Structure 1
Amino acid sequence: MLLSRKLAALATGRGTKWAILLVWIAIVIVAVPFAGKLQDAVEDGSTADLPRGAQSTRVEELTPRFPGGDAAPGLVAYVRDSGITPADRARAEADRRALASVASGPIAPPAASRDGRALMLNVPLVDDGDLSEHAEKIRDRVQENAPPGLQIRLTGRAGEALDVGDAFEKLDKLLLIITIALVTGVLLVTYRSPVLWLLPLVGAAVSLQVSNAVVYLLAEHADLYIAKGMSAILNALVFGVTTDYALLLLARYREELRRHADRHEAMRVALRRAAAPVVASAATVCLGLLCLLAATMGFNYALGPIGAIGVLGGLAVVMSLLPALLVILGRWIFWPRIPRFGDTPPARGGVWDRIGRRVAARPRLVWLAGTAVLAALAAGALGVDTGLDREHFLTSTPGSTVGERLLHEHYSGDQTRPVRVVSEKPVTAALRAVPGVARVGRPERSLDGRLTRTDVILTAPPDSEAAKDTVRNIRAAVPDADVGAGAASELDKADAQAHDRRVVIPLVLGVVLLILMVLLRALVAPLLVIATVVASYFAALGASWLLFRYAFGFPALDTQLALMGFLFMVALGVDYNLFLVSRIREEVALSDHRTGVLRGLGLTGGVISSAGLVLASTFGVLGVMPLTMMVQIGVLVALGVLLDTFLVRSIIVPALALDAGRLFWWPGVLSQRTPRHVRPPEPAHN
């Protein structure tokens, strides 16, 4: 409490407000150049994206010890349904010679398929940050003036990197523009002011620049891994939480401007009263994200600190820069609805007052009916399929997937992603005896002569369960070896995601519950709030699955969706319930329980609904991304936030609080006494 008072005095002092502004201007000037380099730190591929400690990760780490270990294959498929002609062979040979300047090593002559209808050219490339650029040169060369009737496709790791690079090209700027446009629209509708909407937007922009700069510096100097798509999640998270916190502060500031003649004093009071729920909210999201540090999957592990940095950036801006700006600009910033000292708040009878009265009439029936709606939506998740194959990695069918199909049709086994076995001695005989193995390559010795690497072609596609079973059999047949790449990587990722769900989800629930217990000083209320948020998650999952299956045409959910969706839904969904219930607690302490619940709902209804729309919009923008996983995360979180905002928070939680009575605050002091000092009722504004 003392710390919040000091911070409030610093941000709203008549002289210190200018110092705060100047400090933030200096921070932004320093941060912008680094923030602009964030995309340079994004990695196309890395062992950091693989499960920590898995066999496939060890294989990737050992790869540089072998000749050409840093090579990524660029496989070019030449297919003619009527049969390869001499002219086709000449074309493939000409491409081989022309691509020698791009390749990282010798290019073997084109390999013909047994059916005589395909040729395969393997162009080795250096697997570094320029992989997609090298792959683009290959694609441009082989598809230039292609002979009629000859299909030419680039696939392999290089082709996949190129497809992902093409999909993300200039996308981050487009996503940011769409996000700003949506947030602006919600703020204009909320405030109906030509100027006030700019402040939350400016705050979000500053938060994003500072967060991006910190993430970039950590990537450059602390080896923080940034995968493609993480910057989009960071954009959505920072814009969402910063705007939400700003909306809450603005609502409290507007209230206090009617009670205080001095705007500095009004902001000091507003900041002190808003600090507890805002800081608790930021702590909930940050600690929830940091639970990902217990994850083994590289993407999950790295997202935790990146997301926490974004949330802390938003918190710092809303608790310091925004109050200073509001006090500097004065009351006119609310024009045309300027709150004056002594003004009477708008009369009761707004939408949230009416909702509150209807909920209070039959609270038990209301929360039972609301729970039934959530259960019906959650039933949509029954029979959900998880695990997207490579073909559906992007929302459109990429060229590398077409090339992979062509090679699989004309060559035995999967040529694009072989399994690699690293051992101290040759294991060729044991590998050939494993069912599901189509071909075993020639063993290759490491540069120091201590290890052997053998490439294994499987009969089944790497994404299939049959391929994963074959990997399990290979590992059983050669227990002293490390088996990675191809289907082995897919198996390890699936196992890691299952591990992360088992470990991280209980951690998140425990952290959120503890924070709610500390803030609300009760046990029953936090348990009920957690239960409603979890219920809204499963309802959103069921509704999303129906959309994905029948509207989007996705055959399955990405394996990361369950964890990512749960994390964002619980951490962010609890926010609105936290804002509501903390305000209800404040009002109950000044009146009776029923009045406090209805006043809390009426006073927070408008601002929390606006905040929910902002957050749903920022995550909904992910739906335009080409990466299927990001589309699914965006849709799931957006639906979940809307459900939580307009059903759980506005109807079910107030109904539960009213039905439980003072037991809602058990074992806290509010469950045992009637408040001594009752503040006169004040009309709620909506």
Structure 2
Amino acid sequence: MAWLVCGRWTKWIVLGLWVVVLAVAGPLAGKLSGVEKNDNSAWLPGSAEATKVADLQSRFGPDNIAPAVIVYERGGGITAADRAKATADVARLQQVAGVTGQVAGPVPAKDGQALQTLVPIKIDEDGWEKIVDVVDDVKAVTGTPSDGLAIHLAGPAATAADSAGAFEGIDGTLLYTTLAVVTIILLITYRSPVLWLLPIISAGVALTTAQAVIYLLAKHAGLVVNAQSAGILTVLVFGAGTDYALLLVARYREELRRHEDRHEAMALALHRAGPAIIASAATVAVGMSCLTLAELNSTSGLGPVAALGIVVGLLAMVSLLPALLVICGRWLFWPVRPKPGTAEPTATGVWARLGGRISGRPRIVWVVTAVVLGAMSLGLLQLEANGLTQADQFTSEPASVAGEQALARHFPAGQGQPVVVIGQNSASAQIRSAVAATPGISSVADPVVNGDLVMYEAVLDSAPDSDAAMATIERVRDAVHPYGGAQVGGMTAMTLDINEANDHDNRLIIPLVLLVVLVILGLLLRAVVAPLVLIATVVLSFAAALGVSALVFRHVFGFGGEDTSFPLYVFVFLVALGIDYNIFLMTRVREETQQHGTRRGALVGLAATGGVITSAGLVLAGTFAALASLPLTAFAEIGFAVAFGVLLDTLVVRSVLVTALTLDLGRWMWWPSRLTRIPDAPQTEPVTPGAPGRDLDPVS
């Protein structure tokens, strides 16, 4: 099978097929951003109460309305000139394209220091992208602050505009940042001015192809894609794809030192490294696919997006990359070209020396390492994954946050984001009384009736993104549910339902991913003990990474908390991707064990894979760290935690902890497979990885 992609003639066929795929996929990939859905309502499942209310609201007037709240503020008190300006602005705002319905205001604050005007903005079928232009037009009408009069813009429209501005150019920013990171690491790893180009080209083709497939699924099959999942796709394809490329190129270079024919060398490299690469990709893809069971649409949509990216990346790295490598020849490795008969440098490298040190007292090494990781996990006590407020969503303070603060200084904090209650008109009086009597509700507007339904809008006392506001929503729901099945929605209710869906997804998906990865490891390694040990090390690594991240977020970056989806995303990425490196290591250890026993196999496996796995870890950590280039707290937190966790896994957990455990457990690591019956070879001369004349095929 390996010969099909690197044969003397078939390599050109493989290249031609990928050229055709790229020609078809390119135009489609460019349309992906046009089908993204970035509003909160699109993230919620149809069963969520806030979603049902949003659907019913369309019966009371135009749906998809995002109000902008203009706040005119003067510390010494609003003047007659200020009121005249605000009144004149209302007439001009009514003419702004994108403004729908009646502009309401200006309404004076009780303290006499502010006015507010409510501007309803229509969100059309193109989504939230055009809201930035409408908000800019609104700002142009109100003008800039002058003569002591401050003008702020708050409300859902202002928040959406700031979010859209933060996401603007996300694809380009992430792509170029990721490219720069991967290029630098590959140049350092290969020390070749040319070789790094082939993994980059292959990953770029894979990303374009994956984006095209995902666009078609989003356009015609209802797949939910947002800027977050599209951004993670870029990072994942380049990060994981380059990892697979590093493993394959390292094995190819080994074989070039033993074979004159590069086609034969590549066929053997694919045959021997292919199972580990495929198993790693399958683990990640299946782990990511578990996300499709999530209640939250944004999370369930990320599952197939990430899985497709991994599968396409795998296909490119085991077909396009090998074809390109054999087409170009050995000169790619210049200035250090691997020639037949030259020594294998990993036999006496830094990882071989590290293995020798660990082998002296493996039990002490793994116990001390585990204790240190456990201590790092104590930082979990600082983790506050209860959701991010509007002010905490950005790494800097956008204009909408300042607007919300100004609004809260002079008006009820929830003025711009009302609670929406819809129920049967026959129970209208009871619904209104129940809402008005609920602690945390400032006022209730007059009812709007449509047939047998009635709608009330209520104002919250507290900020709409606060814990107090969430508690008020729960009280309102408890109060109105008995009256004809009345339901409660609005932006605060949506946030509450998103948080509850995330909590459900955490409880369901985290154990499921662990079980899936455990089963895959059992099938791959044909053992029971080794998969359990590896899962335990990855979970400990995850806990340590999360603990350190929580401390850094709180005491270094000053973040106000973590998004409710943060633990799940970090867990899935670290467990699914972190297990990759254990697969790379343990499949090589298993391969060597059949000749030398487990203890020598562990040392040879570490020596052979240490360099390439570390390089792969640096690439993956660097690509996820690129997420921090975006001005969004959730991205920065995921990027830091995954990058730190990957480095911790590759430099400490895989190289030290797993190796020490393997040396300590010895052949019982493979129980109940027949490898437990292979005695350890005497520890005398170092064994060269992949020495000529040895059978390197995996045992059954």
Q: TM-score range with shorter-chain normalisation?
A: over 0.9
1:266, 1:161 → 2: CA distance?
55
User: Match for 2:561 among 556, 559, 570?
Assistant: 556
Aligned to 1:531: 536
Deviation, structure 1 residue 37: 2.0
Q: Distance in 2 between matches of 1:140 and 1:671?
A: 76
Q: 1:122 aligns with which of 92, 115, 118?
A: 118
Where do 1:404-419 residues align within 5 Å?
404-419=404-419
Equivalence for 2:69: 75
Q: Output aligned runs, 1:336-485, within 5 Å.
A: 336-346=335-345, 348-386=347-385, 387-425=387-425, 426=428, 427-446=431-450, 449-479=451-481, 480-485=485-490
Query: Contact 1:418/1:456 (CA < 8 Å) preserved in 2?
Result: yes
Q: Quick check: 2:346–2:352 contact (8 Å CA) kept in 1? A: no
Tell me which of 636, 639, 656 is aligned to 1:634: 639
* 1:302 Cα deviation after fit: 1.0
SS in 1 for 2:115: strand
**CA offset digits 1:339-387 (Å, max 9, x no partner):** 1223332373210001000111100000011111111211122132222
Q: Residue 177 of structure 2 aligns with which residue?
A: 178
Q: Secondary structure at the match of 1:589?
A: helix
Asked if the contact 1:616/1:638 (under 8 Å) is kept, the reply is yes
1:114 deviation in Å? Answer: 1.3
**Aligned match of 2:234:** 235
* Distance in 1 of aligned mates of 2:135 and 2:560: 29
Once residues 618 and 304 of structure 1 are traced to their aligned partners in structure 2, the CA distance between those partners, rounded to angstroms, is: 19
Within 5 A, what are the aligned runs for 1:39-54?
39-54=33-48
Q: Distance in 1 between matches of 2:629 and 2:600?
A: 44
TM-score of the pair, normalised by structure 1: 0.96
Q: How many residues are treated as equivalent by the alignment? A: 674
CA distance in 2, matches of 1:261, 1:475: 75
Partner of 1:3: none
For residue 155 of structure 2, what is the aligned residue in structure 1? 156
What are the Cα deviations for residues 243-272 of structure 1, in whole angstroms up to 9, with x where unaligned? Answer: 000000101111111222221111111111
Q: Percent identity?
A: 48
Runs of 5+ consecutive residues of structure 1 not aligned to the other structure: 1-5
Tell me the amino acid that sits aligned with residue 632 of structure 1: E
Stretch moving more, 662-671 or 413-422: 413-422
Corresponding residue for residue 292 of structure 2: 293
The counterpart of 2:27, out of the listed 10, 22, 33, is 33
Distance 1:478 1:279 in 2: 54
Q: Give the match for residue 326 of structure 1.
A: 325
Residue 497 to residue 44, structure 1, CA distance change in 2 (3 Å): closer
Give the equivalent residue in structure 1 for 2:187: 188
In 1, the alpha carbon distance for the partners of 2:346 and 2:311 equals 37
Partner amino acid, structure 2, of 1:81: G
Following TM superposition, by how much is the alpha carbon of 1:223 offset from its aligned partner in structure 2, in angstroms? 2.4
- Return the offset for 1:51: 4.2
Shift of 1:465: 2.5
Displacement of 1:231: 2.1
Number of the residue aligned with 2:211: 212
1:624 aligns to 2:623 (yes or no):
no
User: Does structure 1 residue 87 correspond to structure 2 residue 81?
Assistant: yes
**Which residue matches 2:595?**
590
Structure 2: distance between partners of 1:366 and 1:52: 52
**Deviation larger for 298-307 or 456-465:** 456-465
Per the alignment, residue 527 of structure 2 pairs with 522
Please tell me the root mean square deviation across aligned C-alpha atoms, in Å: 1.7
In 1, the alpha carbon distance for the partners of 2:140 and 2:297 equals 33
Question: Partners of 1:620 and 1:400 in 2: how far apart?
Answer: 27
How many angstroms apart in 1 are the aligned matches of 2:38 and 2:133? Answer: 11
Note the C-alpha offset of 1:683: 2.5
Cross-structure match for 2:677 = 672
C-alpha displacement of 1:450: 3.1
Residue matched to 1:59: 53
Looking at structure 1, the residues matched to 598 and 236 of structure 2 have their Cα atoms a distance apart, in angstroms, of 35
Assess if the C-alpha contact under 8 Å between 1:204 and 1:314 holds in 2.
yes
In 1, Cα distance between the equivalents of 2:233 and 2:141?
37
Partner Cα distance (2:380, 2:404) in 1:
32
Q: Following the alignment from structure 1 to structure 2, what is the Cα–Cα distance between the partners of residues 345 and 567?
A: 36
**TM-score of the pair, normalised by structure 2:** 0.94
Distance 1:151 1:339, change over 3 A: same
Alpha-carbon separation, structure 2, partners of 1:231 and 1:95: 39
1:108 lines up with 2:113 in the alignment: no
After superposing on structure 2, the runs of 4+ consecutive aligned residues of structure 1 that deviate more than 6 Å are none
CA drift at 1:13: 1.6
Q: Give me the whole-angstrom Cα distance separating, in 2, the residues matched to 1:616 and 1:224.
A: 28
Contact 2:67 2:156 in 1 (8 A): yes
Cα offsets for 1:49-80 (capped at 9, x unmatched):
12451111211222222212232111111111
User: Is the 1:284–1:512 contact (alpha carbons within 8 Å) kept by the matching residues of 2?
Assistant: yes
Q: How does 1:257-268 map to 2 (within 5 A)?
A: 257-268=256-267
Of stretches 395-404 and 219-228 in structure 1, the one that deviates more from structure 2 is 219-228
Cα distance in 2 for residues equivalent to 1:550 and 1:140: 40
Q: Distance in 2 between matches of 1:665 and 1:53?
A: 47
1:424, 1:452 within 8 Å by CA — same for their partners in 2?
yes
Residues 290, 303 of structure 2: 8 Å contact kept: yes
Q: Distance in 2 between matches of 1:120 and 1:651?
A: 62
Provide Cα deviations, 1:482-525, integer angstroms capped at 9, x if missing partner: 11123322221221111111000011001100110010000111
Other structure's SS at 2:563 match: coil
Query: Secondary structure at 1:110's aligned position in 2?
Result: strand
